[in-house]
Amino acid sequence: MTFVLCGVVSVSHYLVVGAVLFTCGVVCMALKRNALGVLMGIELVLNGANINFVAFGSEYLAGDGKSVLGLDGEVMALFVILLAAAEAAVALAITLNFYNNHATVDVDRADDLHG
């Protein structure tokens, strides 16, 4: 167990988790053909960013007892959560509209503007 974590958890470990979630989200956005899958990728990306905000704002994880962002990191994480909720609501509405019009949620079929 101490092979990965020599001692206590540091900010870097949180950044790695955030990086994994971010990468998965980017791949999910690029790869999924289902519009809801693309939405889930966006949620993953925002969560990866959120982990970084919280890690930099945490005094518990700070090496020298003084965090980089302090409370600002947590406030930003709250704003990200709120904006993600708003984004999910409006993106879902667009997806449902698309589904009503085209009877599919395949984003490859959304080529009405194709020249």
Shortest separation between residue 69's beta carbon and another protein, angstroms: 11
- Copy the structure tokens of residue 12: 């870097």
Number of H helices, E strands in the chain: 3, 0
Shortest separation between residue 12's beta carbon and another protein, angstroms: 5
For another protein, the closer of residues 70 and 111 by Cβ is 70
For another protein, the closer of residues 30 and 115 by Cβ is 30
For another protein, the closer of residues 90 and 111 by Cβ is 90
- Copy the structure tokens of residue 85: 């909720």
Burial class (CB in 10 A: 0-12, 13-18, 19+), 3: exposed
SS3 34: strand
Shortest separation between residue 114's beta carbon and another protein, angstroms: 16
The one-character DSSP state at 64 is T
